[in-house]
Structure 1
Amino acid sequence: MPPAPESRTDDEVLADTDVAVLLRYGLTQDAFRTALFGDGAVAAAVTLDRLGVLPRSVVFVAEIVRSGGLAYAAGLPESLPSPEPAAVLRDWLSGAAQTATTPEAESRAARWLEAVAEIIALRRATRDPETSDPS
């Protein structure tokens, strides 16, 4: 009998999710929208939270997307305060900018980023409710 596979936490499984693909298709195709705002948002939050990104930084990027568009936000050299998470986010946004060219898709992207920020804040609040700063 083969050994049982190692069990993985939900965080580990979601961290392996291809957020770039979900974002690219979820912004433009209704069939992928639920996955984008569900597993995709949680996977993005897990990834960014592990990299130490604060929710307010993600909200700031959402505001940039809303005012300047996905391509503009993707082109920023430091969309987030640290280089590694900024590179991750830039990869996600630049892929999305190639397909999500309508104002509706860009508005969805901003809403999605706000959802990611909320999930990061919730993760932080539940992890350490005494010292957590949700922003």
Structure 2
Amino acid sequence: MAARNTVRTDDELAGLDVPSLLRFGLGEGSRMRTALFGDGAVSAAVVLGRAGVRPRAVSFLAKVVRSGGAAYAAALPEPVPGESAGATVRAWLEAAASVAHTVDDDESLARWLSAVAEVMAVRDIATHGRGSI
């Protein structure tokens, strides 16, 4: 089956079900892995960018997940700055924690969060001519 080139708007991407992508995309060999690291990462970047979260906060969260795991990060009172953004990210972390049973799963989540931070930084440069991770 050939891949389709589909252009999605930011609004369409922001409407994706990131918790489901995390639940079905984290496992090794998952069919949804490409969607998680593709559209899912861009979706998360759009949502967090609109909430005013900086890429470095997501990079830091990736380090926390790498060190403590998905369940530990999901229990943080403020995984990223901002009450609304924190609640959104906590839902993502809880979805990931529900399927993250190994260190490899936690590492995959940390790599995904790092990818989200990179997308955010690139979007920031493209939009504002500046960026920092």
Does TM, scored on the shorter chain, surpass 0.5? yes
Higher gyration radius (CA): 1
Partner of 1:42: 42
Amino acid at match of 1:123: R
Q: C-alpha distance in 2, partners of 1:99/1:31?
A: 15
Report if the CA contact (8 A) 1:25-1:32 is conserved.
yes
Structure 1: segments with no counterpart, 5+ residues? 1-8
Deviations 1:70-117 (A, max 9, x none): 000000001112111111000000011011111111100000000000
Report if the CA contact (8 A) 1:58-1:80 is conserved.
yes
Partner of 2:18: 19
Amino acid at match of 2:15: D
Comparing 38-47 with 23-32, which one deviates more in the overlay?
A: 23-32
Question: How far apart are residue 63 of structure 1 and its match?
Answer: 0.4
Partner of 1:118: 118
Report if the CA contact (8 A) 1:122-1:134 is conserved.
no
Equivalences, count: 126
Q: Which runs of 4+ in 1 moved over 6 A?
A: none
1:62 pairs with 2:62: yes
Partner of 2:97: 97
CA RMSD of aligned residues (A): 1.3
Partner of 1:134: 132
Q: Determine helix, strand or coil for the equivalent of 2:98.
A: helix
Q: C-alpha distance in 1, partners of 2:9/2:124?
A: 16
Q: C-alpha distance in 2, partners of 1:70/1:33?
A: 17
Give the share of equivalent positions with the same residue, in percent. 50
Q: C-alpha distance in 2, partners of 1:105/1:117?
A: 19
Q: Determine helix, strand or coil for the equivalent of 1:99.
A: coil
What TM-score comes out, normalization by structure 2 length? 0.91
What TM-score comes out, normalization by structure 1 length? 0.89
